[in-house]
Structure 1
Amino acid sequence: MSIVLGANQYGKAEVRLVRVLRHGGRHELCDLNVTVTLAGDLAATHLTGDNAQVLPTDSQKNTVYAFARSHGVDQIEDFALLLARHFVTAQPAISRARVRIEEYGWQRLGPHSFQRSGGEVRTATATCVDSEFDADSDADAGLVEVEAGLTGLVLLNSTDSEFTGYVKDPYTTLPETTDRILATAVDARWRYQDTGVDWAGSYAGARAALVDAFVGTYSLSLQQTLYAMGHRVLAERPEITEVRLSLPNRHHLLVDLAPFGLENPGEVFVATDRPYGLIEATISRAGDGVG
């Protein structure tokens, strides 16, 4: 029996970066969480402990901070691309660099005062694959790919949602309903066809498409709503080639008030956090492969 080393990678996870851009008395705030993942010719460090090809994860952290100062941070997609390209081109042993960034929102209260917003988190991931190292791979050669998205976008429709006609087996106790609350916390990722994109405009447009589709869809199932949301993004944003959605069903259950002599005509609910249904799917343009 032979034992071999399989696919492997390493990096620095969750580098917290806050950058203050000073325009006289008025400041701009950028709050990021950056994760770097590197892969390549790294077998020796696993098999023999030879670290000659290993860039310390502490150096990766320092690069994030140094680049934030020397290059600035505007759109997180551009910053992720900058870092990913740097690690591939600067380190001969590294064939693939992936940089994922989460951006946290802050609401302005004054020229230099802010309040952390409770909204969704914007995300971006840039992947750069060295063309020389992967010269035999048509799929990966010279690949630079950007994926953006958001997480934690909480949406709720208090009506225009039902769930009927589903499979019933000996363990089914769920009653059919033609009027229910539909609530979810959207985790969405979308993939771009190239890197020449107005990132801010694309993000705002994709987010608006997700929200508009959720609001405007009479839901027969959360699966149907998910597809409508992904379809709307692709229909309105030609620069996006694929959307991946993960939607937990945040159940709201009607409280039985009969023991208290009260009716409950769809007004009082208990919001449960677990267990929950989890609906996931990828929506892509016809002819596009799923990345």
Structure 2
Amino acid sequence: MATSFSLAFLVVAYLVVVSIESSNAQLTTNFYSTSCPNLFSTVKSVMQSAINKEARMGASILRMFFHDCFVNGCDGSVLLDDTSTFTGEKNAIPNKDSLRGFEVIDQIKTAVEKACPGVVSCADILAIAARDSVVILKGPTWNVKLGRRDATTASQSAANNNLAPPTSSLSDLITNYKNQGLSTTDMVALSGAHTIGQARCITFRTRVNNESNIDTSFATTRQSTCPSVVSNTTNNNLAPLDVQTPNTWDNNYYKNLINQKGLLHSDQQLFSGGSTNALVQTYSTNPTQFNTDFVNAMINMGNIKPLTGTNGQIRKNCRTIN
């Protein structure tokens, strides 16, 4: 009887350990090396085509990864569509009429499913596509850690609360990133993603029309398509986040901040006499340091609360739960 009890106890203990190890599995760079050996070339091919068609798409996919990771972790929840019984994150205030590129992720998922069905998560596809977007636009590369699984839930309220608005102060930004386990250096480096892409007038109207810490000529140029009078016809007018090279990865974003040409209020906050001034100055003159810190920050961000092991699922369609 004692022997039987001991054996049963050992079996239960073993299962508990296996369960813990499975749920706490770590991300690795070679996660799909055997199960989907052509994964990276498949993703990059679709991303290359999308960016060839519209260069802005690279910035859009990078931003989508950021918006996914900052809301309950990098779990692909941002990709889920609303249904009559399910509310996702796409219509949260920071995402509605703003987050874009979902059709590109759909195209990648279709191609990956054809190569290795039921193997690669949408969360991992988004992580790889974000890296490829940077590389294709002449930015640095890195080995993406993989092994994420897809969420079966989403949180519109978390999207509204966890994604810092463009009106954020420096202290707000630092706290926002700290809440995700990211450092101030991570925050300044990740903000450098604004060296590519565009923003809507509704996000920078107040800055270019009302703020004083802005280059006069720069403000006047932006006011021509984003006047102070609020109008639905101008809300979606676009302007480059980096006026010089919006489709090329470089460190001009930081040079612009020093010259008071940050498009968003939150951008210019990084060089406004606060604790991040020195880092902005470093990145403005040392693109290698910027790229190194950006890569480290992307890896850190990709590690935010991923679902691994037996948690979550591998979605067949990134827009819906299996």
TM-score relative to the length of structure 2:
0.21
Which has the bigger relative contact order, CA under 8 A and spacing at least 6?
2
Greater Rg, structure 1 or structure 2? 1
Please identify which structure carries the higher strand content: 1
TM-score relative to the length of structure 1:
0.23
Please identify which structure carries the higher helix content: 2
